[in-house]
Amino acid sequence: MPKLKTKSGAKKRFSLTAKGKVRSAQSGKRHGMIKRSNKQIRNLRGKDTLSAADSKIVKKFMPYG
């Protein structure tokens, strides 16, 4: 049986926690910062865990994750 390849886009964007949850960057910080409040920009720092439905999709892209 050949090895499965990891999707390189998913490899760059997501990481797995020890319990198997999927971590990703917060959404909403790419552009348009001037219309967001400073509090919102501050709270969007760091990483966030994906929902169960989304993480199911991402885990298919990372078979050995």
- What tens digit of pLDDT does each residue of 5-19 get? 999 999 999 999 999
pTM: 0.81
Nearest to 40 by CA among 24, 25, 53, 27: 27
Domain boundaries, position 41: 8-61
Specify the CATH number for the domain of residue 47. 4.10.410.60
Strands 47-49 and 14-16, by their bridges, are: unpaired
The answer to the question of residue 1 being in a domain is no
Q: Identify the band that residue 65 occupies on the pLDDT scale cut at 50, 70 and 90.
A: confident
Mean pLDDT of 17-25: 96
Instruction: Locate 15 and state its tokens.
Output: 């990481």
Q: How many domains does the chain have?
A: 1
Distances (CA, A) of 18 to 15, 21, 43, 47: 10, 7, 24, 15
Mean pLDDT of 27-42: 96
Mean pLDDT of 37-41: 97
- Give pLDDT, residue 55: 96
The answer to the question of residue 13 being in a domain is yes
The answer to the question of residue 2 being in a domain is no
The answer to the question of residue 15 being in a domain is yes
The answer to the question of residue 3 being in a domain is no
